[in-house]
Amino acid sequence: MRPVRLKALLLDLDDTLIDNPMDSFIPAYFAALREWVAGVVPPERFIAELKAATRAMAANDGSGPSNEEVFAAAFYPALGVPRGELEPLLDRFYREAFPRLAPLTAPRPAAPRILEWAHARGLQVVIATNPLFPRSAIEQRMAWGGIGVDRYRYALVTSYENCRATKSHPAYYREILAALGRHPDECLMVGDRWDWDIACAGAAGIASYWIAEPAAAAQAAEVEPVGRGSLDDFLVAALGGAFDSERFEPQVREALR
Ligand SMILES: [Mg+2]
């Protein structure tokens, strides 16, 4: 990977900027959805088709329409309920029921400080969360973490409306580069998932910082993150000037090992 001249910071959301363990969040989210639609659709069928349509969306590789449209094309016909009927109900779910999931997540104090550091340096900041959710569900999670769109300026927040690929494909990162007008060697991705955040960003030529325990095992030898640690560790490295140099990669390695 070439040296990085940092112009844009790409930040994963769940378990990177906020605590949001998917093992507890997803079951609670599905349970809330099941209850919400119970009067209109058999709940078990709803969840089965939701999972199938989410898999179809995860396969979107940048060659098709938006993730939202891929989801809709798989979901509503399979369920046998007109989109025009169910979509307003789901919109209301995100406005009225989704907020009740907030206590399952927790803010990470380093997150706003990282945003302040990035803004002070004039970096473009992207919330690079896997775009499987509507924008409302993403903006709410950001607000729960004290890093809402009303508090900080973002160059881009990826959501299922504005993406044509997911983090299962390097096309996701190429779309971000195109939206920012940046080259891969001007960006750094920070995230906790090896496959989505580190390996996939690396496949698009983007360097990464892995939010992981020191003992966590990397899963592919061909990608090497420039650093690894907690979000607090990343903040300390950033404030210590680890990313200020034109060629920050070797310095980060020294600072963190
Ligand atoms: Mg994550």
Q: What is the pLDDT of residues 100-149, one digit of tens each?
A: 999 999 999 999 999 999 999 999 999 999 999 999 999 999 999 999 99
Q: Ligand 1 centroid to 133 CA: how many Å? A: 13
Q: Ligand 1 centroid to 115 CA: how many Å? A: 17
Q: Ligand 1 centroid to 1 CA: how many Å? A: 23
Q: Ligand 1 centroid to 88 CA: how many Å? A: 28
Q: Ligand 1 centroid to 241 CA: how many Å? A: 25
Q: Ligand 1 centroid to 80 CA: how many Å? A: 33
For 207-228, the pLDDT digits (tens) are 999 999 877 777 766 788 999 9
Instruction: Tell me how far apart the alpha carbons of residues 22 and 131 are, in angstroms, rounded to a whole number.
Output: 15
Q: Ligand 1 centroid to 129 CA: how many Å? A: 7
- Output the pTM of the full model: 0.94
Q: Ligand 1 centroid to 254 CA: how many Å? A: 25
Q: Ligand 1 centroid to 191 CA: how many Å? A: 6
For 154-184, the pLDDT digits (tens) are 999 999 999 999 999 999 999 999 999 999 9
Q: Ligand 1 centroid to 22 CA: how many Å? A: 9
**CB neighbour list of residue 60: distance below 8 Å, 6 or more residues apart:** 67, 70, 164, 165, 166, 169
Which pLDDT does position 223 carry in this prediction?
85
**Integer Rg of the chain from CA:** 19
Q: Ligand 1 centroid to 81 CA: how many Å? A: 32
Six-digit token string for 232: 């607090």
Is residue 174 within 8 A of residue 63, CB to CB? The reply is no
DSSP class of residue 216 equals P
Which pLDDT does position 254 carry in this prediction?
44
